[in-house]
Structure 1
Amino acid sequence: MRPASGGTLPLEEREREYSPSSCIGGNYAPHLDEYAWRSAAARQGATRHLELSYGDGAAHRLDLFLPAPTHTGQPPPLLLFIHGGYWQELSRASSLFAAPDCTGAGAAFAAIDYTLAPQASVHDIALECRRALRWLHRHAKELGFDPQRIVVAGSSAGAHLAAMCCLRGWNGTTDLPNGVPAAAVLVSGIYDLQPLVGTSINEALSLDPAGALAVSPQLLCLEGFPPTVVCWGEIETSEFKRQGREFAKALKEVGAQHQPCLEAPGRNHFDVILDLARPGTRLGDATWALFSSLSFTPVRRT
């Protein structure tokens, strides 16, 4: 276990630093509205779209978008997206905005729901996300994508959950198959949850120091972590940037980092994720470079 990361701050400063909207004047509702309308457009414009269950729980649902079939017969890779919202809000319904970029490039895209806090603990939410990943791998061939080329991605709390999906042998839980996921894209994440203890964010999470440690990938064994892109927006708090830099450094130490960590110019905590699969953006190009390392060449649009 690696030592806790630095950056211990007084409570008032932690409240501000872990409030991502503090950098944009406090109102992030317009960004959530954009997630929603872009996702609705993605769903409406899809030609190959499925709604599926990965478990028995009410929140164990996912949306899957598939690209047009190709003449090669080779199944496409999958980008699996896990939404943020401090483990307490948002859903897959507003997390579909990257689907058109993925299917247009010849890749599949999925977004999952999970039980939100306080109805579920962060630990149990991580287990649900790992269950969804395991289910998608098991059913990949019948659904029409490559089980060995699943890239998991997430934003904010979703980046934390995506990182938890990459841990091997975590907490004695059922492990994921070898090579699953094949890679990860982590955007504006928190990888050490200890600074949240005592803040208002923790009211719904009920994390104590031991519980925060148990779900902090920064502080857990990262051996076997897949190739990873770590990114954040230029307009973010110093703590979100520090968390990203320190996690990227830890991944580099175990040989998992695909490239230097990225700061997306002009982007904030909420709009940087819109570039996830968008060609010509720093994050989007890094995502497709990661897919290229998995022997996938995105379709060029004319």
Structure 2
Amino acid sequence: MTAAGPRTSAPAIADPVDRSAAEEASVFGHQPVPPDATAAYGDHPDQVIDFYRPRIAGDRPAPLVALLHGGAWRAAYDRAHVSPLAAHLAAHGFAVASLGYRRGGSPQTAQGPSQSPEATLPPPADPTTDVINDPGESPGAGGPHPPAGRWPDTFDDVAAALDGLPELAVQALDADTVDPCRTVITGHSAGGHLALWAAARHVLPPDSPWHRSSPPPFRGVVALAPIADFASSIRLGVCSGAVLELLGGTSHVTVRIPHADPAVLLPTGIATTIVHGTTDNVVPPQVSDEFAKAATAAGEPPTVAWLAATGHFPLIDPANPAVVTVINEIGQLIW
């Protein structure tokens, strides 16, 4: 069900049947779908964008969906696991750009650190420390993993990829195929956080290296089970403490949250939709509910679609009916 504005409280996780393992197995059971074209926006192997051509011909160039994968900002999870979703969106008439970006544990290149460091912010966390276990973000979970995210590299990459996307999309797919002036940004889990963050760059502090002087040219944001509110995510220990890892540890939280937390970067003036399953035990629905409350308090209530008896992974699984809602919500903003 889709409703304008959030509920007063998050729906409880009430389904007594734990479907999460089956849902996860289904989404990771799909074979990766190779893109129609790939373009680099930097020299690092992760600084690439995969493009998928729309499979339905229209009477004008197709709108563009910018897709950000999840995986708790960790290097073990890349855009391959959302490639079936990208192909599914293309089959429904969208041009799709699936963005790669550096995550925690990504290897450094000879170039060294980020090209746009913020001198006033604390230095990046050491990506070799604080290895812990993550019980629920991936197939074969339970082993050690590197910390989440690379500060500031993860944010550098998303900003650079999206700033360069209009030109790269036309180069990769041609102007008769794609219309980058009709772009919706979507992302799942950690990618949902990055999508919300990217839509709020003009609200960032003026001294932020990612600040834009004007709103980004998006028709809207559709965030899927996003890590949208850092305060509740930290309190709930989402993805085994991934938010604290992304920020570089508790000592950096106060300084870095104003540069990274979508729930404090409001209002944005950009149409925002949240899609979240009520039985999500990876990113609990309370996280989206807290973001929705903050947005409403800022005078900008989002559209919130709560999907009953739906966990974390069906939102990106082309075999699951939940994806119908995702496609419909994107279409509401883009057509």
Question: What is the aligned partner in structure 2 of residue 196 from structure 1?
Answer: 234
Structure 1 residues without counterparts, runs of 5 or longer: 1-6, 8-22, 297-302
1:221 paired to 2:266: yes
Describe the shift of the 1:264–1:175 C-alpha distance in structure 2 as closer, same or farther (beyond 3 A). Answer: same
Query: Which secondary structure state, in structure 2, belongs to the residue aligned with residue 245 of structure 1?
Result: helix
One-letter code of the match for 1:100? A
Residue 138 of structure 1, aligned match among 160, 167, 170: 167
1:240 paired to 2:280: no
CA distance in 2, matches of 1:238, 1:84: 12
CA distance in 2, matches of 1:162, 1:53: 20
Question: What is the aligned partner in structure 1 of residue 139 from structure 2?
Answer: none
Describe the shift of the 1:155–1:189 C-alpha distance in structure 2 as closer, same or farther (beyond 3 A). Answer: same
Describe the shift of the 1:132–1:39 C-alpha distance in structure 2 as closer, same or farther (beyond 3 A). Answer: farther
Count of residue pairs brought into register by the alignment = 263
- 1:7-32 deviations in whole A, cap 9, x for unaligned? 9xxxxxxxxxxxxxxx948x85x655
* Superposed displacement of residue 166, structure 1: 0.4
CA distance in 2, matches of 1:219, 1:81: 23
Q: Trace 1:202-217 onto structure 2 (pairs within 5 A).
A: 202=242, 204-205=245-246, 206-208=248-250, 209-210=253-254, 211-217=256-262
Question: What is the aligned partner in structure 2 of residue 288 from structure 1?
Answer: 328
Describe the shift of the 1:38–1:127 C-alpha distance in structure 2 as closer, same or farther (beyond 3 A). Answer: same
Q: Trace 1:74-153 onto structure 2 (pairs within 5 A).
A: 74-88=60-74, 89-118=76-105, 119=127, 120-142=149-171, 143-144=173-174, 145-153=178-186
Structure 1 range deviating more: 166-175 or 226-235: 166-175
CA distance in 2, matches of 1:287, 1:71: 17
* Superposed displacement of residue 90, structure 1: 0.7
* Superposed displacement of residue 59, structure 1: 0.8
One-letter code of the match for 2:286? R
Q: Confirm or deny: 8 A CA contact 1:59 1:115 kept in the other structure.
A: yes
Describe the shift of the 1:51–1:36 C-alpha distance in structure 2 as closer, same or farther (beyond 3 A). Answer: farther
Describe the shift of the 1:90–1:32 C-alpha distance in structure 2 as closer, same or farther (beyond 3 A). Answer: farther
Describe the shift of the 1:212–1:266 C-alpha distance in structure 2 as closer, same or farther (beyond 3 A). Answer: same
- 1:91-150 deviations in whole A, cap 9, x for unaligned? 011111222332222111121221111555254312311211111123333333111111
Question: What is the aligned partner in structure 2 of residue 299 from structure 1?
Answer: none
* Superposed displacement of residue 252, structure 1: 4.1
Query: Which secondary structure state, in structure 2, belongs to the residue aligned with residue 96 of structure 1?
Result: helix
Question: What is the aligned partner in structure 2 of residue 38 from structure 1?
Answer: 30
Question: What is the aligned partner in structure 1 of residue 5 from structure 2?
Answer: none
Q: TM-score, normalised by structure 1?
A: 0.73
Describe the shift of the 1:240–1:105 C-alpha distance in structure 2 as closer, same or farther (beyond 3 A). Answer: same
Q: TM-score, normalised by structure 2?
A: 0.67
CA distance in 2, matches of 1:69, 1:198: 42
The percentage of aligned residue pairs carrying the same residue is 21
Structure 1 range deviating more: 212-221 or 200-209: 200-209
* Superposed displacement of residue 38, structure 1: 2.4
With a CA cutoff of 8 Å and minimum separation of 6, indicate the structure with the bigger relative contact order.
Answer: 2
Q: Confirm or deny: 8 A CA contact 2:219 2:333 kept in the other structure.
A: no
Q: Confirm or deny: 8 A CA contact 1:157 1:189 kept in the other structure.
A: yes
Structure 2 residues without counterparts, runs of 5 or longer: 1-8, 10-16, 106-126, 128-148
CA distance in 2, matches of 1:198, 1:248: 17
Aligned-residue CA RMSD in angstroms?
3.4
Q: Confirm or deny: 8 A CA contact 2:27 2:313 kept in the other structure.
A: no
* Superposed displacement of residue 249, structure 1: 3.1
* Superposed displacement of residue 188, structure 1: 1.3
